Amino acid sequence: MKRLILYTKDIQQLTGRSERHCRDLYKRILSLNGKESPAPLTVYDFSAYSGIPVNAVLERIN
């Protein structure tokens, strides 16, 4: 089974940005999708925001 939830560390690996930037990005994507902080960030949410295809994200995190 593939993991569908992203963490800050995953975003760092995908984008190559700093941990601080990725934490801010994580929060920004959550708020744009109407979610609050304890809610998980899905691969689909990140893909829609970043433009990176879902398949490419899944390959990198699993």
Average confidence (pLDDT) over 32-55: 94
Question: Quick check: 57 and 43 in contact, CB under 8 A?
Answer: yes
Radius of gyration of the CA atoms of the chain, in A:
11
Question: Residue 31 sits in which domain range?
Answer: 5-61
The structure tokens listed for 36 are: 């609050």
pTM value is 0.89
DSSP for 4-46, written as a single string: -EE-HHHHHHHH---HHHHHHHHHHHHHHTT--TTSPEEHHHH
Give the pLDDT confidence score for residue 10 in this predicted structure: 96
Give the pLDDT confidence score for residue 52 in this predicted structure: 94
**Three-class SS state of 6:** strand
Q: Name the residue with tokens 């089974």.
A: 1
- The number of domains in the chain is 1
